[in-house]
Every structure is written in structure tokens, then in C-alpha cells.
Amino acid sequence: MAAPRKSTTGSRAEAQALERSRDLPNTRTAPDVESLKRAFAEHLQYSQGKDEHSATSLDRYFAAAYAVRDRLMRRWLQTQQAWYREDAKRVYYLSLEFLMGRLMENNLINLGLRDNLKAALADLGIDLADLLEQEPDAGLGNGGLGRLAACFLDSMATLSLPAHGYGIRYEFGIFDQELRSGYQVERPEGWLRFGCAWEVPRPEYVVPVRLYGRTEHYRGEGGALRVRWVDGRRVHGMPYDVPIAGYGPGAAVNTLRLWRSRASQELDLADFNAGDYLRAVEEKDVSENITKVLYPNDLTVMGKELRLQQQYFFVACSIHDILLRHLKTHDDLRRLPDRVAIQLNDTHPSIAIAELMRVLVDLHDLPWDEAWEICRAVFGYTNHTLLPEALERWSVDLFGRVLPRHLEIVYELNRRFLDACRGPGKVPEEAIARMSLIEEGSPKQVRMANLAVVGSHSVNGVAALHTELLRTELFRDFAALWPGKFNNKTNGVTPRRWVLAANPELARTLTEVLGPGWVTDAGELRRLEPLAEDAGFRRLFRQVKRQNKARLAEIVRADGGLELDVDSIFDVQVKRIHEYKRQTLAILRVVAEYLRMKGDPTYRPPPRSYLFGGKAAPGYAMAKAIIKLVNSVADVVNHDPDVRGRIAVCFLRNFRVSLAERIYPAADLSEQISTAGTEASGTGNMKFALNGALTVGTLDGANVELREAVGAENFFLFGLTVEGVQALRRRGYAPREIERTDATVRAVLEAVAGGRFSPEEPGLFRPIVDSLLGNDPYLVLADFADYLACQDRVSRAWAEPEAWTRMAILNTARSGRFSSDRTIREYADEIWQVRSTAID
Ligand code: 26Q
């Protein structure tokens, strides 16, 4: 079944030559300024074929990128040799999304080349910052889940863990967001248009994958019942490897392997020989469509056939690859759990459980029970959401058509699992119905979350509160059966990208006072605490923030023309647009502020700039309406001379990793205002806090732990708790009652629904207001009054700049726990049992 891998064993002479080249004084990859200059000049000529007259900015970016890439390669090889030599247990992180953003600056920083390259380019009259802007974001994800995977890769390499990421090389990542008259318009984003300097195609490692077809049951050797999957379509998975450099001298360079679908030649040739050239080419199209585009939905899943193909395609390629690597050095698949841990980033890759069963049982002839034990020992599953609409289910019909053998396997797993649950004194029948891998009803559906729970030895939530809710609500039946399986791994973010790269001024200040250790040991930030009492340091901290605000203001000006006042509060809510995240709550408060200022000229809170940003799923009408509302409120408020200089509203177009890197460092206030019990963790909250923003937040997700870490007195808390939310829902939430009794709510809703922000189309925002007054599951109006009161506390706190700065410093000082290094150590020790191996 496997395409032959054309790796050969080289001659002794070749090995000696390579050995010598490694020992030689290393001019090609030396890190000094002169060598970098020379490398740049050579790549401009010999890789780009350009001279100083013809080179574009893009050519210069590529020349510099190749110079950096050369310096990655040797450590990459060394790392892979070390994993092989040590026979290290490896961890595989399977994810449909890796939201990497730009790669060049992080590679420079992690390799310790940034200053030298900056100097080398400066000597040539080139500004490094300008070059870095040439690189498009690798936007291969939607939001939190995809960015978490990217932060994890950075931490795993920095901690020198033998880790591999597996994902899809989408030709089109998350769409570019444009605004037309305040409405979101999606544009395809072709990040590969000019090629990617950081990927290495590996056509010699293609993997064949089957889809559709049917199963044949037959008697094998000794009369045993066996199954094979036949017919259907064949496609090829071609890997593209992206090196992932850890930070610092002892760190690893790991691999992110992204699969691209290609037409399988066998099929093309068969059609071609039959004289149907056009059909052959069409078939090629269908095959290559699988990895064309990222699904831009987060949290609302629809059972699209192509999405199932994507999931299975990349899983099949990855499992094949993992087993091949294992079998290179071990002949026994039963030892797999000692050598391999596979982490499933949500249920999206959970078909891997059925695929590993298929490969072990059908192809390698292992007994079912043994195969199952191996699966459960190998897989871990991370859940990222409690929202019911986000739980993946596939109709049995569709699933069985695309993956006929896997459906049989799921049914057999389910039969055995439910049999084991039944019996006197065991699991009650109604719990069994909830735990079944198949949801009865029409249509019947495969429950991917249940498959992932049953097929893993570990199920983790992404914040303490979220994990508690998994245990007591979503997976309560499973938790009763297997209490030890459920565990918490609170999310984290990488301080390399989110502080060192994004906030160089803050980073320099931190290193000056703390030394460089905080970059890999974020707990060191705690030593900043006493400096919160130092007036000189506070001044410095404020200066850094002010510079960052000026830098963001310049970006906003260049993109939209709005002039932000850098002395105003930068009050920021950036994240995907979703009703549960309650951008509506924030914008309704802006309206309330605006109306209050209009009605009472003596009301003079400190000036604020309200910055919003985020993408709406293209099919999510309510989210798109919210974007339009923000832009419409901005239009009115920003043009009203009565409030000029006191309030500004700005929707930041096309929120993405590279823009986020400019936003978090510039924020004074971080809005984390989801309904308690809905946001699994949040990770933006951590990026803000590390960069010295104060949080206005509910007791939801990781906000709970963030508040504990920074201290309740340095966090603006409001809103219902999870228990409060549950109690209110039981009592019956009556938003009309709130409207009747709260004059501010009434005035705000009247303004929005009555067309004050949409005079051309007075009814435009009626649906938003109707939904808030109807069966709103997110209880926006229930938290409204408390949110306003809380924001008044914020305004009063801002009026005391020294006290504010003290709080901001303490937020940075006490957020070290939210480094993804801490998170990854916990995964490595408690789920994967993999160890760091230093690279010499
Ligand atoms: C599934 C099927 C079909 C199409 C799309 C999807 C899909 C894609 C992306 C479903 C969900 C997602 C993304 C979920 C996500 O980003 N969740 C967030 O994960 C973060 C990291 O753990 C948390 O911090 C956030 O709280 C959580 O919302």
C-alpha cells in the first residue's frame, strides 16, 4: 500500500563528506553580521535572480528569509538525528488548524539572529521591519484553537520535546476581511501566491489515501474473519515540512508536517488510457480540492462532506507516517504506546481512533482487543468547547459512504462498549443512551466527542472552570465511569511571540531589570512586583505603553483614516465575532455612554477609544449584523462634534495574528465579557495581561485563574457566575422585565432598534434587539447594569495614573503562569510521558 520511500543509504564517502562539511569553519551559516550580509547578497542573486536594480521588496524579503532558513537547517537535521539516536518517545499533535501568522521574525528571535540581521540589512540601507511586513500571515486557522496549536509548537521546540505537528496545507487560509459600507466582505487569501520560504516539499514521502468504496468480508489464513476496504477513490497526500525553531541555544528544531492532496497518478493514467483525457483532468481537480480551503466556521459545525474528507485525509496520512517512523526502528506495534503519544486537538481529527484500529486490525492483523488497548493508550483528547452547536456529529449515512470501513469499526466499538456498561449494578440505561457513539433519531449520527472520550486515555479541558463543567455536565456519565481520565490543562501563550517579538520595548525593559531568564521561565516575571512601587519604573512602563499606542494609532490611521488619541483609554475587544462572546454587550455600553454624554454635558469621563476587531463566519448572519452595528455606531459617534475627543469607536479590519501583535501591546483595557460557562478558556485574555492591560471580565474560562493570579484588586470583575447563570435560566430569564424597569436599557435599545445608527434603514438592527429581548441564551441584558457599573470603576481608576500603572505592572508580573511552556510541561508530564532531550 505504501508508496516506496526513496531514501537510500549513502556511501561512506558521502557520509565523510557531510561530516567534514559539518566540521569546517562554517561560512555559509555563520551568524555574524558580515556572513549574513554575504548570504543576503548571494540569495538575492542566486535564489531570486535579481540585482540591486531589479530587486523588489519581496525579493529582498525572500533573500533574507533564505539566509535565515540556511541557518535553521543544520539544527533541524541535528534535532531529527537526536530524536532518532535517543529512540525518544515522540508526541504528535494532530490539528486541523495551525494559526501560525508570520514565521520570519520568530525564527530570527528563536535562533538569536535578529540583531545581527537587522545590523546587516541596515548596512545595506534596508530596514528589517519593512522586510518583515512583506511576509503574508500563514492563516491556517480560525481563532483560539488554531493559535493555541501554534503556541504549543513554539513551546514544544523550546522545551526540546520530540514533537511533530500534523495538519493541512490549505491553499487558502482564513479569508481576508474587507469592510464595505460597514459590512464584512470575505476575500480569498492566497498566502502561497508568491511561494513560502519556510516549507520544504517532500514529494518522495507521498501517502496514498482511499475514500468511498466498500468493504469485503472474507476468511483469511486459518479461517479467521477478515475485512478489506476496496474500490472508491484514491488520492495522494504530499507532505510539506515547516521547521519549527525553539528559543535559545539548547532548543530543538521540530517539524510541522502539512499535507496537500494531489491526484493519484494511477487514476489519471487509467482514464487517460481509456481515452478520456478530460475526465482524468476533472478527477485531478476533485482530488486537489480536498486541501484547497480552510472552513471558516468556528463553533458552528455543519456536516459538509468535503470537511469529512479533509479530516480523514490528513489523519490517514499522519497515522501512516507515524507508524512508518515507528516501524523503522521497532518491529513490534504492540510497543507503540511506549514510543508514541498522539494528541487530538478537539474532535476534528478524532477519526484517527477508528483509522488506527483499521490499520492495526485489517492491515497488521492484530487481534481487536490488543489493537483497542493500543489505541486507548496512545490517544489523548483535548476538548475546546461546551457549546452544543459545536459538538461534531456526522450522519451515519454520509459517514458510511465516505468511510465505509470506519463506520463498521465505530459500530463494533460501540457494541463492545455498551455491552460492557450494561448489567446489574452498572450504568443506568438513560446514561447508556447518552454515552452511545451513535445518536438514535433521524438521521442517526456518529458522535465524535463520545468516540474521542471512549478511544483516549486522557480527556482534558483548557481551563479549570471548563474542566469542571466537562466533568459535571457535558461528560458527566463518562466521568462517573472513568473519573481518572478527566484532567485540566489550562491554556497558555508563548512569551516569545506575544511579548518578545510583539512588544520589543517592554521586552527590553524586562530584560534590563530581570535579566533574560523570563523569556523561557515566565515565572521570573514575578520579580517585577516590587518595581510596581518604583515611580521611575512606572514612568518607564507608561512610556512603553504610550509608544505602543502610537504605533497602533499609526496603523489605524494608515488603514482607515481615524485619528486615535494616544492619551485616551484603549479599550479593546478582539476575537471571533460570536453571540456568546457578547460584542453586543460592549457596543450597547458604548451607546449608553454616548447617550449619557449627549444628555448631560457635565458628564466627562476620561476619553476612551473603543477598539473592536474580529471575523464573523461567512454564514453567521447575526455575527455579521453585529459587525455592521459596531461600524454604524462608530460612524455616528466619530462624527458627532458634541462628543469629539471624548469617545471614539473603531472596528479594526481583518484581525489576524500579525495585527494582533500590534494590538495587545497597545491595549489599556482587555474586554473578556462572555457569559459565564461559555468560553472554554480564552487566550487573548492572557496576551493582554502579559502586555500590561487590565481586564474587565466575567468569571468565565481562564479569566477565573487570571484574576486569582493577578489579584482581585487588579481585575475588574462583573456579571453573573456560572451558578447565577444556571439559576436564572431555571427561574426563567425575562429580558422584557429588565427593559421595563431599567431606563438606560430602554433608551439604548430604543436608539438601536429605532434607527438612530441606521437612519437610511431604520429597521436594520431590529433583529439584534429582538434577539436580546427574546430567548437570548447569553443573557446580555442580565449583565448589562453590572457591566456599566464596573466600567465606571474603570474610568475612576484611570483617573489615578500611578495606581493604574501599578496594577498594570502587577498584571505583567503575575501572568507568568499563562506561558504555554507551563502548559506544555503539564501535557508532557501528565498525559504524554515524553521527556526533554537537549540537542548538542
Ligand atoms: C468544526 C467542524 C466543521 C467546521 C469547523 C469546525 C470548527 C472549527 C474551529 C469548530 C471549532 C473551531 C474552533 C474552536 C475554538 O477556537 N475554540 C476555542 O479554543 C481556545 C483554545 O482552547 C479557547 O481558548 C476558546 O475558549 C475556545 O472557544
Q: 79 versus 280: which is more confidently predicted?
A: 79
Residue 619 pLDDT greater than 50, yes or no: yes
The residue-averaged pLDDT of 364-391 equals: 96
The residue-averaged pLDDT of 594-620 equals: 97
**Active site residue: 169, 581, 582, 628, which one?**
581
% of residues, the chain, pLDDT over 70: 98
Concatenating the DSSP letter of every residue in 6-23 gives ---PPPHHHHHHHHHHHH
Q: What is the model's pLDDT at position 631?
A: 98
Residues 464-523: tens digit of each pLDDT? 999 999 999 999 999 999 999 999 999 999 999 999 999 999 999 999 999 999 999 999
Q: Ligand 1: which residue has its CA nearest to atom 9? A: 298
Q: Are 3 and 207 in contact (CB under 8 A)?
A: yes
Read off the DSSP letter of residue 172.
Answer: B
Round to whole Å and give the CA distance between 389 and 437.
17
C-beta of 385 in contact with ligand 1 (< 6 A): yes
**Active site residue: 683, 805, 823, 837, which one?**
683
Residue 261: Cβ within 10 Å count? 24
Q: How far is CA 507 from the centre of its chain?
A: 24
What separation in Å is there between the alpha carbon of 680 and the centre of ligand 1?
9
Residues 212-230: tens digit of each pLDDT? 999 999 999 899 999 999 9
Which residue matches cell numbers 508514541? 340
Residue 271 pLDDT greater than 70, yes or no: no
Round to whole Å and give the CA distance between 411 and 446.
9
Concatenating the DSSP letter of every residue in 803-825 gives HHHHHHHHHHHT-GGGBHHHHHH
C-beta of 235 in contact with ligand 1 (< 6 A): no
**Active site residue: 257, 549, 575, 628, which one?**
575
Cα 380–385–389 angle (5° rounding)? Answer: 120
Closest CA to 549 of 706, 669, 640: 669
Residues 744-760: tens digit of each pLDDT? 999 999 999 999 999 99
Confidence of residue 50 (pLDDT cuts 50, 70, 90): very high
Q: Are 520 and 821 in contact (CB under 8 A)?
A: yes
Q: Are 202 and 241 in contact (CB under 8 A)?
A: yes
What separation in Å is there between the alpha carbon of 300 and the centre of ligand 1?
9
C-beta of 661 in contact with ligand 1 (< 6 A): no
Residues 304-358: tens digit of each pLDDT? 999 999 999 999 999 999 999 999 999 999 999 999 999 999 999 999 999 999 9
pTM beyond 0.85: the answer is yes
Confidence of residue 1 (pLDDT cuts 50, 70, 90): very low
The residue-averaged pLDDT of 436-444 equals: 96
Q: Ligand 1: which residue has its CA nearest to atom 12? A: 298
Q: What's the grid cell of residue 465?
A: 472552570
Residue 277 pLDDT greater than 80, yes or no: no
Q: 124 versus 265: which is more confidently predicted?
A: 124
- Give the position, in ligand 1's atom list, of the atom nearest the Cα of 307: 3
Round to whole Å and give the CA distance between 454 and 141.
27
Q: Ligand 1: which residue has its CA nearest to atom 13? A: 298
**Active site residue: 576, 608, 656, 806, which one?**
576
% of residues, the chain, pLDDT over 90: 91
Containing H/E element for 204? none
Active site residue 639: no
Confidence of residue 254 (pLDDT cuts 50, 70, 90): very high
Q: What is the model's pLDDT at position 523?
A: 98
- Distance separating the N- and C-terminal Cα atoms of the chain: 38
Residue 299 pLDDT greater than 70, yes or no: yes
C-beta of 355 in contact with ligand 1 (< 6 A): no
C-beta of 307 in contact with ligand 1 (< 6 A): yes
Lowest mean pLDDT: which of 280-284, 321-325, 396-400?
280-284
C-beta of 144 in contact with ligand 1 (< 6 A): yes
CA 29 → CA 21, 72, 247, 277, 574, distances in Å? 11, 9, 18, 48, 40
Residue 663 pLDDT greater than 60, yes or no: yes
Pocket test for ligand 1, best of 145, 389, 675 (most atoms within 8 A of CB): 145
Q: 177 versus 18: which is more confidently predicted?
A: 177
Residues 512-568: tens digit of each pLDDT? 999 999 999 999 999 999 999 999 999 999 999 999 999 999 999 999 879 999 999
Pocket test for ligand 1, best of 148, 384, 700 (most atoms within 8 A of CB): 384
What separation in Å is there between the alpha carbon of 697 and the centre of ligand 1?
20
Using CB atoms within 10 Å of the CB of residue 272, give its burial: 0 to 12 exposed, 13 to 18 middle, 19+ buried: middle
Q: What is the model's pLDDT at position 270?
A: 64
C-beta of 685 in contact with ligand 1 (< 6 A): no
Active site residue 683: yes
Q: What is the model's pLDDT at position 2?
A: 43
CA 251 → CA 211, 802, 816, distances in Å? 40, 40, 20
Q: Are 127 and 53 in contact (CB under 8 A)?
A: no
Task: Kindly give, in sequence order, each residue whose CB lies less than 8 Å from that of residue 289, ignoring residues fewer than 6 positions away.
Answer: 261, 306
Residues 107-141: tens digit of each pLDDT? 999 999 999 999 999 999 999 999 999 999 999 99
Q: What is the model's pLDDT at position 3?
A: 44
Task: Kindly give, in sequence order, each residue whose CB lies less than 8 Å from that of residue 156, ignoring residues fewer than 6 positions away.
Answer: 91, 93, 163, 244, 246, 252, 254, 824
What separation in Å is there between the alpha carbon of 379 and the centre of ligand 1?
19
Active site residue 687: yes
Pocket test for ligand 1, best of 93, 140, 298, 581 (most atoms within 8 A of CB): 298
- Give the position, in ligand 1's atom list, of the atom nearest the Cα of 683: 24
Residue 19 pLDDT greater than 90, yes or no: no
Residue 5 pLDDT greater than 60, yes or no: no
Q: What is the model's pLDDT at position 560?
A: 80
Residue 25 pLDDT greater than 70, yes or no: no
C-beta of 392 in contact with ligand 1 (< 6 A): yes
Q: What is the model's pLDDT at position 839?
A: 86
C-beta of 680 in contact with ligand 1 (< 6 A): yes
Which residue matches cell numbers 519581496? 58
Q: What is the model's pLDDT at position 268?
A: 59
C-beta of 393 in contact with ligand 1 (< 6 A): no
Lowest mean pLDDT: which of 276-285, 667-676, 786-795?
276-285
Active site residue 575: yes
Q: Ligand 1: which residue has its CA nearest to atom 1? A: 301
Read off the DSSP letter of residue 827.
Answer: I
What separation in Å is there between the alpha carbon of 390 and the centre of ligand 1?
8
The residue-averaged pLDDT of 720-726 equals: 98
| Mean of per-residue pLDDT scores for the chain | 96
Confidence of residue 278 (pLDDT cuts 50, 70, 90): confident
Confidence of residue 272 (pLDDT cuts 50, 70, 90): low
Task: Kindly give, in sequence order, each residue whose CB lies less than 8 Å from that of residue 287, ignoring residues fewer than 6 positions away.
Answer: 233, 235, 236, 261, 262, 263, 264, 267
